[in-house]
Amino acid sequence: MHQPSLSHLSATDPDLAALVEAEATRQHDKIRLIASENYVSPAVLEATGSVLTNKYSEGYPGKRYYEGQQLVDPIEELAQERARTLFGVPHANVQPYSGSPANLAVYLAFMKPGDTFMSLELAHGGHLTHGSPVSITGKWLRPVHYGVGRQTGRVDMDEVRDIARKESPKVIFCGGTAIPRTIDFPAFAEIARETGAVLAADIAHIAGLVAGGAHPSPAGYADVITTTTHKTLRGPRGAMILTTEEHATAIDKAIFPGLQGGPHNHTTAAIAVALKEAAEPGFRDYARRIVANAGALATALTERGFDLVSGGTDNHLILIDLTNRGIGGKPAAKALDLAGIELNFNTVPFDPRKPWNPSGMRLGTAAITTRGLTEEHMASVAEWIDRAVTAAEDRPALDRIAAEIQDLLNGFPMPGWSAAR
């Protein structure tokens, strides 16, 4: 049963309520390894579903365009203060609707159409908003990209410096969406200073690890930090931009009125809750366990013959190249879904296959760590992945794996769902 209860939704719209309940059950019954997903706490769920969704609040605290902000302003200020404290930054904007608008705000604040910026190539682990040709960032701006080494799977900072010197970008983005290794923020900062660029760190995937001390922080190195608030941070679907005082006004103006109208106050409140939870001592242990689980899973997968990009992981994320298994990422991911393991197909560096049917799979350990799985369970997870990829189209074999997984997960409670009927 969904927690909090869906009693009113069930009475008003039983069809939709049934779908939500079924989704909650699905999330309980599967090993969720999508690197950008997690489970939020019941407190975050309650804030997200609160009466704050009724209120429109265009502007910023103390400078709104609508009346009735006596309580909304303190909520946003609380989220801002908690973000500043947790990440050790002078300024925090908690209004971006998601990670993509947060990144767009960086471009709007510091660039004009046609200007050059620099980022990690999408196929090597970057993000769509880092200059993909199908994104507005690739259509209206001039992206130049650095990549990873074919043999190492890691960013070569000498190559980054050479490209930056040659291209003189206005903005340099570090970070991305499929990077299994530690990001060298000090080296990026040195290159940005040398070339006069604004350094933007996209830490959407690792924000919770940074907050929990399990990954180095870009604070003090990056001029601007963008992040989503879900993934490893374990908050609602939202985003934040963290900046120095020097760039605070430009970023705030880029978000409003540059890109957005009124913020989603229910999301702002849920972000504040998640930040409070991330500041508690237990969250540091959670972040450490995410990384430990990923390392143990990477080792177990390698022992079963899987080829991991860069040879392993330093964080929550593992990128697998399935070329040596004779199967594409898409059919493998679909087989795993039937077997009760949820992840996503993904391109790998120098992938000869198309993005819609690439050679790889991406997975992460944030959600299963929230459920309470530990390093001792990772060998079993790797075994199930191996069996499912090998079985592929053998539905009875996949069903057997799904049953085994459900038996395991029944012993690990899920936030937001209860077996009670």
Instruction: For 269-283, write each residue's pLDDT tens digit.
Output: 999 999 999 999 999
Catalytic residues: 56, 58, 202, 228, 231, 237
* Alpha-carbon span 31 to 387, nearest angstrom: 15
Q: Where are the alpha helices (DSSP H) in 90-141?
A: 99-110, 136-139
For the domain made up of 289-409, give the CATH fold.
Answer: Aspartate Aminotransferase, domain 1 (3.90.1150)
Rounded Cα–Cα distance for residues 235 and 228 (Å): 9
Instruction: Give the pLDDT confidence score for residue 204 in this predicted structure.
Output: 98
CA 279 to chain centroid, in Å, comes to 19
Of 226, 265, 189, 274, the closest CA to residue 99 belongs to 226
Q: Which residues are annotated as a binding site?
A: 122, 126-128, 245
To which residue do tokens 């038996």 refer?
Answer: 407
Q: Which residues are annotated as a binding site for (6S)-5,6,7,8-tetrahydrofolate?
A: 122, 126-128, 245
The architecture of the domain spanning 47-278 is: 3-Layer(aba) Sandwich (3.40)
Q: Is the dihedral of CA 164, 312, 363, 366 positive or negative?
A: negative
Cite the DSSP H helix spans in 304-394. Answer: 329-338, 366-371, 378-391
Give bridge partners of residue 362 from the DSSP assignment: 319, 344
Place of tokens 């996209």: 202
Measured distance CA(329)–CA(197) in Å, rounded: 37
CA 144 – CA 127 distance, rounded (Å): 13
Q: Alpha-carbon distance 266 to 264, whole Å?
A: 6
pLDDT at 184: 98
Backbone angles phi, psi at 323, to 5 degrees: -55, -40
Residue type, position 381, single letter: V
11-39 burial: b if 16+ Cβ within 10 Å, else e = eeeeeebeeebeebeebbbbbbbbbbbbb
**pLDDT tens digits, one per residue of 131-159:** 999 999 999 999 999 999 999 999 999 99
Reduced to 3 states (helix: H, G, I; strand: E, B; else coil), residue 163 is helix
Q: Residue 277 corresponds to which tokens in the numbers above?
A: 């939870």
Q: Note the pLDDT of residue 419.
A: 78
Dihedral over alpha carbons 141, 149, 224, 71 (to 10 degrees): 100
Q: Is 175 left (phi over 0), alpha (psi -120 to 50) or beta?
A: left
Helix 329-338 and helix 378-391, axial crossing angle in degrees, nearest 10? 110
Residue type, 69: Q
**Residue 347 to residues 182, 326, 342: CA-CA distances in angstroms?**
20, 15, 17
DSSP state of 172: E
The residue extents of the domains of the chain are 47-278, 289-409
- Helices 265-278 & 72-87 angle (0-180, nearest 10): 40
Cα gap 216→206, rounded to integer Å: 10
pLDDT per residue as tens, the chain (421 positions): 888 889 999 999 999 999 999 999 999 999 999 999 999 999 999 999 999 999 999 999 999 999 999 999 999 999 999 999 999 999 999 999 999 999 999 999 999 999 999 999 999 999 999 999 999 999 999 999 999 999 999 999 999 999 999 999 999 999 999 999 999 999 999 999 999 999 999 999 999 999 999 999 999 999 999 999 999 999 999 999 999 999 999 999 999 999 999 999 999 999 999 999 999 999 999 999 999 999 999 999 999 999 999 999 999 999 999 999 999 999 999 999 999 999 999 999 999 999 899 999 999 999 999 999 999 999 999 999 999 999 998 999 999 999 999 999 999 999 988 876 5
Q: Which two tokens stand for residue 184?
A: 């060298």
| Residue 340: per-residue pLDDT | 98
Q: pTM of the entire structure?
A: 0.96
Q: Count CB neighbours of 3 within 10 A.
A: 15
For residue range 336-360, list pLDDT tens digits in order: 999 999 999 999 999 999 989 999 9
- pLDDT at position 421, please? 53
